[in-house]
Structures are given as C-alpha cells and as structure tokens.
Amino acid sequence: MWLNGWVKLWRKSINSAVYTDELWRLWCHCIMRANHEPTTVTVDRLHEPIQVDRGQFITGRFALHEELYPGKFRKVCSPSSLWRRLQLLEKLECLTLKSNSRFTLVSVCNYETYNSDDSKSEQQVNSRRTAGEQQVNTEEEVKEVQEGKKKPPLPPLEFTFTEDLSGMNSPGVVQAIADWIAYKKSRGEGYKSPQMQIARLLKRFGDPQVFIDAVDSSISHNYAGCFAAKGTPNGKPTHKPGPGQKHQPKPDGDSANVFGW
C-alpha cells in the first residue's frame, strides 16, 4: 500500500517554482504516490501486467482527481485543471508523463533525492511502530470528512474578496483564481496588482460558474488572456483564426482591457 512509509522533503523547496498553492500539494502527492520498489500492475483489458519501476506510478485523469478530491469535494477542482497542473510539473522537469489510451505512467525525476536506498532499513523499523498510528489517524480523518467536520484545504490567494464580490466567493472560484494566477506566472506574465486585476475579471464575468469555465477554457487553449468559454455569456467566437493560429475570441471596446489579462 503506497500510504505506508515516508519520503524526504528539502527546505529549499520553498524557493522552487512548484511551491505555490495546489501545485505543491499535487507535487507532494506524486512523490508519495510513487513506488519505493519495482512492482507489476494489472490494467483492465490488458493481457500483460505493466512493469512499474521505483519512482513511478500509474494513474489517469479521473483516477488522480478522485485521489486528491474524493466524494463531495470533487467540484473543488475539475479533472482537466488538475491534469494541466500535472503537465506543468512535467514542463518544470519535476516528472515525466508517458500516456496511452489506457493509462499514464508518471515517473518522478531524481526520485532517489526523496527516498534514497539508505533509508530502507530505518523505514522497515519505523513502519512497524507507525502502521497502527497511521491507520488510526487516517480513519479519523476520513470520518471527519464524511461527517462534514473537515474540508480539504483551499490554496492561499494573492486576492481578498471585497463586499461587492462576496457573491463570487466559493471554493470553485478560489481554485480558479489560484489556477489562473499560477498559469500567468508560468507564462512569465504574473500580475503586478492581482487584487485589482482579478477583481475586474470577477466583476466582468459576474457569475461563479462562468468565471470558472472561462479560466478552464482559456488555460486549455493556452490563451494569454482570460476569455469566456464558448456557449457562455460573451463566449461566442467573433473572428476566425488565421493559418496556424488557435481560435481566440476578440473582445471589443473597453472589455479588451479586462479579457486580455
């Protein structure tokens, strides 16, 4: 069971590009999810078992989402948003992804840094002592989540909801804001004033779900700005893309300053 044992984290990770809100949570999950020893995995509708080496694990878009956002928390983050974060970790050379129609093989880069061979003996000794304690803690946490006493942590934001935007304050919007800010930073286009610029975006879209859909759509299309998704208010394409260009709605009037972020 991958929940047993432990991994090492370095304090210098604080200065890493992945040390941002939910991206850090996903990165830690991948390190802990990776096998500490080689194994074989059986996949549905495949006759031959899959060899999974040390530092690797098999997952999929929806399986990974279920692990991080189970049950009633599934709407906190969409599977597509989570998968884009995984792809961002690959771009940052934290891991590699090898996908096919059945599954994705995730390989953590420099896995020995987080779980070196010299830790095996100590891990075996400590596992006996911590197994019972770990199981009790896990059962208590699951019970708290099921009873609604405990909620999954939301990412820290460089944004504060003012009174006039209180109607937009929801877990889904908070996650979308964090995704959008992280996406802009990954493009080297971080906001100088997130409070003002995000507030204008929220006011322009006016509806939590419309904003969430806009962020998902804009990131998936690799847009430089945040544009309403097709089929939602202001989401209908207004011009055709040129040769070799991706379609991007063209705002008009003063909305250009809002949607162009």
Return the HEC string of 170-210. Answer: CHHHHHHHHHHHHHHHHCCCCCCCHHHHHHHHHHHHCCHHH
Average pLDDT over residues 189-194: 84
- CA distances in angstroms from 212 to 81, 141, 185, listed in the order given: 10, 29, 18
Average pLDDT over residues 61-77: 85
- For residues 114 and 36, what is the distance between their CA atoms, to the nearest angstrom? 10
Asked if 212 contacts 173 with a C-beta cutoff of 8 angstroms, the reply is yes
From the list 131, 122, 116, 156, the residue with the least C-alpha distance to 10 is 116
Classified as helix, coil or strand, 84 is: helix
Q: Is 201 found in the same domain as 109? A: no
Q: Is 230 found in the same domain as 146? A: no
**Which pair of tokens denotes residue 223?**
């847009």
Q: Residue 158 domain-assigned?
A: no
pLDDT digits (tens, 9 = 90+) for 77-96: 888 889 999 999 999 899 99
Q: Distance from first CA to last CA of the chain, Å, rounded?
A: 44
Average pLDDT over residues 210-225: 86
Q: Is 92 found in the same domain as 52? A: yes
Selected residue with higher pLDDT from 48 and 142? 48
CA atoms within 13 A on the CB side of 200: 16
**Residue listed under structure tokens 């050379």:** 93
Residue 143 has a pLDDT of 53
Q: Is 119 found in the same domain as 12? A: yes
Q: Is 198 found in the same domain as 126? A: no
Q: Domain count of the chain?
A: 2
β-bridge pairing 50-52 and 56-59? unpaired
Q: Is 51 found in the same domain as 83? A: yes
**pTM of this prediction?**
0.46
Q: Where are the alpha helices (DSSP H) in 38-108?
A: 61-68, 79-91
Residue 95 has a pLDDT of 94
- For residues 238 and 249, what is the distance between their CA atoms, to the nearest angstrom? 6
Q: Which of 153, 185, 200 is the last residue of a domain?
A: 153
Q: Which of 153, 179, 199 is the last residue of a domain?
A: 153
From the list 164, 143, 258, the residue with the least C-alpha distance to 211 is 258
Average pLDDT over residues 149-166: 68
Range of lowest pLDDT (40-49, 78-87, 144-153): 144-153
- For residues 28 and 9, what is the distance between their CA atoms, to the nearest angstrom? 9
Q: Is 137 found in the same domain as 213? A: no
Q: Is 228 found in the same domain as 99? A: no
Domain that holds residue 37: 1-153
**Dihedral sign from CA coordinates of 74, 61, 103, 34:** negative
Q: What share of the chain is helix, strand, coil (3-state, %, to 5)?
A: 50, 10, 45
Average pLDDT over residues 106-118: 83
Q: Beta-carbon neighbour count of residue 76 at 10 Å?
A: 21
Q: Which of 99, 128, 153 is the last residue of a domain?
A: 153
